[in-house]
Structure 1
Amino acid sequence: MSHNSRPSTSRISSVPSQKPRQLSHLQAQLAQLTANMADLESLMRMTAGQAQDMRALGGYSGAMFMAASKVLGEETVKGGEGKEATREQEK
């Protein structure tokens, strides 16, 4: 029973040697996380700029649709009036 309660000597000797390796691994992960956060920040700034550009593009598109609607609407009204006038003249 006393054999089960004591940890083996090989396990005890391996634990201190793992700590520097684990710290090195954590340091590498932290460096990767820092690089990923820098990339994310850059991408977020680019996305914010693109969102502003999309807003402006939406405004231009809306203005063009309104202008086209006004022009085509006037032509339709004029075209409709012209057809009715010619029909009345034909009668």
Structure 2
Amino acid sequence: MNRQSAAPSSGSAAKSRQLAQLHSQLAQLSANLSDTENLLRMTSVQAEAMRGLGSWHGGLFMAASKVLGEESVREAGR
């Protein structure tokens, strides 16, 4: 009889260990999801900044092209 009473308690201990492990994994998953959410927010902000930077560069290239184009026309007219 002693063996039969030991079996449920060892099964209960195993179940408790599994639940503790699952709880730990769930906590880690939750932390990772929180980190991912923060990284996505930051990526969104950076993407918006990159878009603005691209617009500035495009404007500078167009202005440089216009200035250099006008200088080429002046030099060709001389």
Counterpart for residue 14 of structure 2: 18
2-side partners of 1:24 and 1:65: how far apart? 60
Counterpart for residue 69 of structure 1: 65
Unaligned runs of 5+ in 1: 1-8, 83-91
TM-score by length of 2: 0.86
TM-score by length of 1: 0.75
Once the two structures are aligned, what percentage of the paired residues are identical? 52
Aligned length: 73
> Within 5 Å, which residues of 2 pair with 1:20-35?
20-35=16-31
Coordinate RMSD, CA, aligned:
1.6
Mapped pair 1:38 → 2:34: yes
Q: How many angstroms does 1:31 deviate by?
A: 0.3
Unaligned runs of 5+ in 2: none
